[in-house]
A and B are shown apart, each in its own frame.
Chain A
Amino acid sequence: MTTNMFIAGKGWLYTLDSRAKLIGLLLFCIQVFLPMRQIGVWFLVLLSIAVAIRSVGWAQAFSPLRMVFPVLLVMLMFVPFTYRDGDSMFIIGSLTIATRESILQFSKFASRFIAITYLCILFFWTTTMATILATLRWFGLPYRQSLVITLAFRFVPFIAEAFKMISDSHAMRESTYGQKVHKRNRIKDIMPTVTAALVFSLKSIPNLAMSLEHRGFGRSNVRTTFRSLETNRSLFTHCALSVIICVLFWILFHS
C-alpha cells in the first residue's frame, strides 16, 4: 500500500548524510523565497538538474519537469493577465498579452517552483524512506509523527502507481483493432480513471490502518529501532558542508 521514491544510483548526494541533506534542503527552500537575483534561482535549477542526471541518469532526471509542466502552463496562462505594469512585450492588435513585468514575475514563480520541486525530489530519490524516518526521529520528532509524515510521502506515490495501473487497464478496454478512437472519447474517459484511482486509494486507507494495528502499532510499550543513525565526526563535516554550500550560494546571488 505504500511505495518508495528512492532510486538507487551513484554520486555524492548518496554519500551525504541524510541529516545534512535535510538541513541543506530546508536552507535552500528558504533562500529561494528571500530576495535573490533571478539568475541565482535559475542557476540552482540547472545545478539540481545536473545533480539529478549524475545521480539517477538522463531518462529519470527530467521526469520532474514533465510532472510540473501542467502547473507551469497554468502559470503562463494567468500570470501575464495578473501583472500588467511595465513595457508591453507581446501585443495582438490593441491587446497587450504580456508586459516585461509579467514575464519577470513568471520567471520568478517558475524558477522557484522548479527549484523547490527538484530539491525535494532529489532528497527523496537519494534517501530511502527508512532513513528519512530515522532522520526525523534523530531530530527529535516522536515516532508516531515521523511515521505519519513518511506514510504520506509513501502513500501518494502509491496512488500515482495505482493510477498508472488503472490507466493501463482502461487503455486495454478501448475499441478493437482497426476501429478509430476519438480524442474526445479519451478525454471523457479520464474521469472514470481518476474516480477508480480515488476509490482504490480510499479503499486502501482502512487496509493501511488495519495492517498497522495488526503489526502492533498502537501498543503502549516503547518501540525498539531497527535502523538508527550514528552520530560521528563525519556528521559534523557533512552538516558543515551543507551549510557552507548554502551560505556561498547566498553570498553569490543575493540581491
Chain B
Amino acid sequence: MMQESSISINNVSFSYEGYEHIPLFSNLHLEVPKGSHMLLLAPPDSGKSTLARLLCALVPKYQAGTFSGSLIVGGKDVTESEPWELTDICSLVCQDPQEQLLMTTCKDEIAFPLESLKVDKPTMERRVKESLKSWNLHHVGEANPQELSGGERKRLLLAVTEAIAAPVLILDEPFDDLDAYWRGELINRIQTSNSTVLVMASRYINEFHGTFDRYGLLLDRHIEVESEEDIVMRFETMCDAAFAPSKIEHLATHAHKICCEHVVALHPRKSMGELKPFTLHCDKFHLESEEIVALVGPNGSGKSTFSRALCGLDEVQSGTFSYDDAQVERKHLQRIVGYVFQNPDFELFLPTVKDELMWSIKNDLRKSKDEKESLVATCATMFGLNLNATVATMGYGMRKHLQAAIHYMLNRPFYILDELDSGITYAAAFEMVTLLKSRGAGILLITHDRSFAANLAERTYTMSKGTLIAEAFE
C-alpha cells in the first residue's frame, strides 16, 4: 500500500533571476511519507536553503526566479499558497537564526505565530511557557533575542517551532550552533516526533547515525534516496574528492606567543537588568605559533565573550594580555589576533572576491601592485575562489572560504576561528585550518563538534559558566 506523502516534490526546476543558464534544480523528485524523519545531505551551495524556502512558499515570492513543477506540503499545493497559509502546516528553522528573529523578547517571538493562528490567550501563555522551558530558555523569556548566544537563538527558533506544532518541520542545518547536549536533545526530539521532519545538512555528524528513517543526497540538481550507508559513503567520498588535501607548502616563520592572565570581562544583558551580569574569568591562557587549540563549551558559556576580549574588540574589567612576553594594549590585539566571524556577512563588504582580497593587503607598502595581484590570484586558487565572482551572490559555504582567504592574506600571527565548520564540510574546514596554519599562525578553534576538535587540536580549553579551564584530550 502506498504511504501518504507529507512532502511531495514533482518535476521541480528552479533557477534564480539572472542565472537562468545555471539552474539550481532540474526535474527534482522527492516523496517524504507522513511521519517520516528524513536527512537530506547536500554539499554547501547546492540549494538546500532555497529548497527549504520553496517548500514554505517564500521563494520565488521573495527571491525571484523561474519555477516549474509541483510542490505539495501537508496536502496543500505550495505553488498556489501564500506563506501565511502554511504557518500551521509547515515550520521552517533557517540556518542563520538572525534571518528569522522578529520580536524583541523571547516570549513575544514564540507568541507571534500563535497570535496569527488565533490561539486563545490562556493556551498561548501555556504554550509559550512550556516551549521556553522545554528548550531551557525560561530564564531569558523577557530577554532580547539579540542578546542571546548563537546556540540559544537556534533553540529559540526550535521553541517557536515546538509551540506552533505544525505537522511538517523543515530544519536547515539545525545542529550548527548547538552544543553537544542540545544536539543530543534535538536528535531525541526528532526521533520521538509525530511530525514529518526534513533535516538538511552539509555534513554528516556522528549523532545522525540511525536517527532517520530516510536518507537522501542532493547532488547535481537531483535528489537521490538510498540507504544510510550508501548515502553517507557517497557523500563523504564526494566531499573528500572536492577538497583533497592539497600539498600545502609550509612557510618558515618566527615563533610567537600570546598569553592572558587573570582576565575578567563582563557581558551584561541590557534588556534583563540582571543583578549579576555574565562574568567571564580566565585565569591563564596561552597560544603559540603553529598550534591548534580548541575552545569548546556549552551554548552561552562565554566563548564569544572570551574571543572578543582576546582579539581586542571588547574591553575587559581586569587582567593582562601579552604578546611575546611584552604586555599589549587592547587596540594592538586587533592587529595580532585575527577573528574569523561566525557570520560571513559581517566581514564581506566589497563587490568582488578580488576586491575583498586586495583590501586585506592594501596597507602593505612593501609590495608593488603587481606583486599584490599575483598574491591575490594565488590565494584565490588555494581557497577555490573565482577572483571575479560577485560576493553578494555567493553561497554561504563559498563566503566562508572567502573569509578564510581574507585572513590568509592578512597573515596574522594568531587566529580565532568561530565555528568555521558550520555550514561547510569537514574536509573544507580541515583544508582551511591547514592553510591558515601553513603560514605559522597559532589557531584557536571554537567549535561544538568535539570530534572535529579532537582531529585537529593539540590542546583544548573548555568554557564552563564563564570560566576557562585548560584540559587535555584523552
Contacts and interface: CB of A to CB of B under 8 A. Distances in A.
Interface of A: 1-4, 6-9, 128-130, 154, 158, 161-162, 165-166, 168-177, 179, 181, 185, 192-193, 195-196, 199-200, 203-204, 206-219, 221-227
A223 B339 CA distance: 44
A6 B104 CA distance: 9
Given A3-B144, A6-B104, A200 B345 contact: yes
Contacts, number: 180
Contact of A199 (B58, B63, B146, B392): B392
Nearest to B364: A175
Given A200-B345, A219-B116, A210 B83 contact: yes
Nearest to A227: B108
A149 to B, nearest CB: 14
B124 interface: yes
Contacts of A6: 104, 144, 270-271
Contacts of B98: 1
Interface residues of B, number: 72
B349 A196 contact: yes
A206 B311 CA distance: 33
A7 B270 contact: yes
B62 A226 contact: no
Nearest to B335: A177
Given A195-B349, A218-B84, A2 B101 contact: yes
A217 B102 CA distance: 11
Contacts of A218: 82-84
B104 A221 contact: no
Interface string B160-172: 1000000000000
Contacts of B18: none
Given A1-B102, A211-B102, A221-B118, 9 more contacts: A3-B104, A4-B146, A128-B104, A130-B108, A162-B346, A175-B364, A177-B335, A214-B56, A216-B113
Contacts of A208: 102
B338 interface: yes
Interface in B95-150: 98-105, 107-108, 111-121, 124-125, 128, 142, 144, 146
B102 A212 contact: yes
Interface string B342-379: 00011111100000000110011000000000000000
B382 interface: no
Interface string B325-345: 000000010111011010001
Nearest to A166: B346
Contacts of B62: 206, 209-210
A224 B124 contact: yes
Contacts of B56: 214
B72 interface: no
Contacts of A226: 107-108, 111-112, 114-115, 121, 124-125, 128
A181 B272 CA distance: 39
Most buried by A among B83, B338, B348, B350: B83
B346 A165 contact: yes
Contacts of A165: 341, 346
A206 to B, nearest CB: 5
B296 interface: no
A199 to B, nearest CB: 7
Contacts of A176: 335, 410-412
Nearest to B314: A168
A158 B345 contact: no
B84 A217 contact: yes
B92 interface: yes
A225 B99 contact: no
Contacts of A2: 101-104
B273 interface: yes
A88 B111 CA distance: 62
B104 A154 contact: yes
B336 A177 contact: yes
B162 to A, nearest CB: 14
B336 A158 contact: no
B439 interface: no
A171 B350 contact: no
B338 to A, nearest CB: 6
Nearest to A177: B335
Contacts of B115: 216, 223-226
A168 B313 contact: yes
Which 5 A-B residue pairs are closest in the complex by CB-CB distance? Answer: A8-B273, A216-B116, A196-B349, A226-B111, A4-B104
A195 B124 CA distance: 41
Nearest to B411: A176
A190 to B, nearest CB: 12
21 contacts: A1-B100, A4-B105, A6-B144, A158-B146, A165-B346, A181-B363, A192-B349, A203-B345, A208-B102, A210-B53, A211-B101, A214-B92, A216-B112, A216-B116, A218-B83, A218-B84, A224-B118, A224-B121, A226-B108, A226-B121, A226-B124
B194 interface: no
Contacts of A203: 345, 392
Contact of A215 (B53, B112, B144, B273): B112
A177 to B, nearest CB: 4
A216 B90 CA distance: 11
Contacts of B160: 215
Given A7-B271, A166-B349, A196-B349, A217 B116 contact: yes
A214 B347 CA distance: 28
B349 A171 contact: no
A8 B143 CA distance: 10
Contacts of A158: 146
Interface string B65-104: 0000000000000000011111110001000001111111
A8 B271 contact: yes
Contacts of A199: 349, 392
Given A128-B104, A176-B410, A206-B63, A215 B116 contact: yes
B104 A210 contact: no
Contacts of B142: 128
Nearest to B124: A226
Contacts of A171: 313, 334
B406 interface: yes
Contacts of A200: 345-346
A118 B204 CA distance: 53
